[in-house]
Amino acid sequence: MGLALVPILIRISLRTRNRGIDSLAANIADAFVVLAWLSGAILISINTWKNKLRMKYLDAPKDTLYYGVPEDLSGHLLYVSWISLFFIYISLWAAKAAFLAFYYSIFSLQGRQARIALAAGSIFTAATFLEHMFLIAFWCSPVSSNWSPPPGEHLCSAVHSMSSVTLSTFTNIATDLVILSIPISTLLSTRLGKTERAGVAFIFLMGSVSIIAALIRFITLKLVQSTPRASITHTIDVWALVEIVSSILAICLPSLRTFVRRHRHTSGTHRLGSRPSSGTASASRSSDEAVKNSDIEEIGYSERADG
C-alpha cells in the first residue's frame, strides 16, 4: 500500500494547487480514493497480525494446531479473518466510486444523456457493492460457521466457495465494464482528433487494470481450490491486495500524467536560467501557463469547453 500512497499524495497535492477547477464531485472522488487506501491499509494490518500469530507456532506439533494456531485461538483468528473480507470490497468499491465521481466532475456538463449514464452507473455500482456485503455476511448459515462451525461440520466462507467466487468475480468485472463504458460512450459521441483518441485509449487502460487483476485472482483461486483453506488464505490476500493497489493506481493515473508534465515544464524552465532575466521570466510564464492548461485539459476539459 506504500506504493499506492505516493500517487494519492501527488493527486491531492495537484488538486490543492488547482483550486480554480475545484468541485464537489472532485472532492468526493478524493475522499473515496483515501477511503480505498485506508481500507486496504486495515486489511494489511489484519493480515500482518494473523501472520505474526501463526509464526509463533511454526514449531508446534501439527496435530495441536487448527488454522495454524492452537485451537483455543482459532475461533478469534477466523473471526478477524472474516471481518477483513469486508475491507477488501470496501476498498475495491471505494475506488470504483472514485472513478464515478471523477467522471461526474468531467462529464456532468455534457448533457442529459451523460448524466443519465452516470446515475445508472452509480446505482449499478451501489447494488453490486451491497451484493458483495451480503455475500460475505450471509453466504454461510449460520453466520458463525465462518469462524465456529457447528459440531461435525466444516468451516464455511464465501471466498472459499467457487460458486460464490465466480459470482463475485463476474459482478466485479461487470461493474468495471459499466463504469468504463461511461467515458468511452460520451467521448465517442463527439468528433475525435488524434489527441482525443489517445485520451479514450488512456481511459480504457485505466479501467482495464483492475479487470485484469480480478481475472488473475479468479484464475489463481480456481487453480488452488482443492488446497486446504488455511494454505490458500495467503494467496487470496495477496491477489486481493494486488487488485486493490491496481485500482487505486488506475484512478490516480491522470494525476500522475499531469505531475510528469509539470515536472518536464519545470525542468525546461530551469535550463533557461542562464538566459537574460527578461527572457527567463517570459519562458517561466509560458511554462506555468502550459502546465496550467495541461492540468485543466487533464482534469476538466469538458467544463472549459462548455464554459
CATH of segment(s) 2-257 = 1.20.1070
Q: pLDDT (tens digit, 9 = 90+) per residue, 95-138?
A: 999 989 988 877 766 677 878 888 999 999 999 999 999 999 99
Please give the Cα distance from 121 to 213 (Å, whole number): 21
pLDDT of residue 110: 66
Do 80 and 49 form a contact (C-beta atoms < 8 A)? yes
Q: pLDDT (tens digit, 9 = 90+) per residue, 42-66?
A: 999 998 998 899 899 888 888 888 8
H helix intervals, the chain = 2-17, 24-55, 71-107, 112-138, 162-188, 194-223, 229-271, 277-306
pLDDT of residue 260: 56
pLDDT of residue 197: 64
pLDDT of residue 206: 67
Please give the Cα distance from 180 to 228 (Å, whole number): 37
Q: pLDDT (tens digit, 9 = 90+) per residue, 146-158?
A: 888 887 778 888 8
Q: Which residues of the chain have pLDDT under 50?
A: 274-307
Q: Where are the domains of the chain?
A: 2-257
Cα–Cα distances (Å) from 170 to 176, 213, 215, in that order, read 10, 12, 9
